[in-house]
Amino acid sequence: MGNGQGETEATVRVWDLPVRLYHWTQAALVTLALLSGLLAPLPWFNLHVVTGYAITALLAFRLVWGLFGSEYSRFASFVFHPRRVIAHVGAVLRGRPSHHLGHNPGGAVMVTVLLGAVLVIVASGLLALGGEDKAGPLGALASYATGHAAHAVHQLVAYAVIPLVAIHLLGVAIESRLGRHSLIRAMIDGDKPLPADQPPPALQPARPGPALAACAGLALVTALGLAWAAGRPIPGVPDLPANPVYRAECGACHWAYHPSLLPADSWRRMMTGLEDHFGEDAGMSPAHAATILAWLTGHAAESWDTLAANRLRRIDPAKPLRITATPFWQARHHDIPAPVFKAVKGGAGNCLACHRDADGGRFGFRNILLPAETPR
């Protein structure tokens, strides 16, 4: 802001109410998303997803308001030539920044970068949810490979936002001190001081009518898109035909494992060695064994595009028949206390005890509920 000389009590309403509400709501939601996504335990994942949806809706509103809001809410007020940005940074370093009613050049760059980063986080999060969890509006469109790559981008940009926010707050503190007017207070009441030698500016008013129409149009398009996506099959999650023989023979001793949890070769080796099935004789009639073998190998991990199927295809060569010995299973469950497994009937091999969608083969993050957290 300005150097503080010649300022009077006159103020100008710079930030309209929608922008102020957006600013503080986004700050709260992004903080909650970072905490629930980067620091909180896995059961908080559903909160992270819901927060992400809220941020998406908020961003959609901000994009509309950036076109139809009041003068300094519009994206056009963020545009500065690079030379002006450099000159402003130099003026700040000298302790004599020029006065700007709206965003100064440095602040405009930071706001644009933060807004772009949050857009990338939202887009990559939706892709990751659709590709890895086979859920959300993009579940019918994103493959596991796409979702996995998007997940990496999602995490990278999320971590990058943390220092960006720190720089933003530092810039606000410096500008507030040099300008002798609190930028935080301005974002609360919307007003900034007007220098005595500057006449009141003629500012463009907001256009709430077109903004409301644009929001309604976006809501309609979103609803139609969600309805279309909900009616489409999820690629890589095929309909699994029931196998009563498998349920009767294998389900009599333990949870009947979903065929996507091991590659076909592991199932084949397991079914051809039933006389020594993890130390027990699990022999059955040749007809039943052949039926189960064909069903397991025909719907093995290679036939699915879920996160679990993709990652569990990599087995432990020393224990190719043990799902719990795969590197992915070990990495995913290493922080679960041993008493949790001991309290579960069937132990670590009872996937259904924690994964409420295990029978369907999705094993999504949103459907994990540890036994200790299961509602009684």
Domains belonging to the chain, first-starting first, are 7-230 (1.20.950.20), 244-373 (no CATH)
Q: Cα separation of 273 and 267, whole Å? A: 10
| Regions of the chain with pLDDT less than 70 | 1-9, 372-376
Q: Cα separation of 176 and 2, whole Å? A: 9
Residues 6+ apart with CB under 8 A from 260: 299, 300, 301, 303, 304, 306, 308, 309, 312, 361
**Does the model's pTM come out above 0.85?**
yes
The answer to whether 105 and 88 are in contact (CB under 8 A) is yes
pLDDT at residue number 338: 82
pLDDT at residue number 67: 96
pLDDT at residue number 25: 97
pLDDT at residue number 88: 84
245: tokens are 């023989």
The answer to whether 180 and 272 are in contact (CB under 8 A) is no
Residue 172 forms beta bridges with which residues?
none
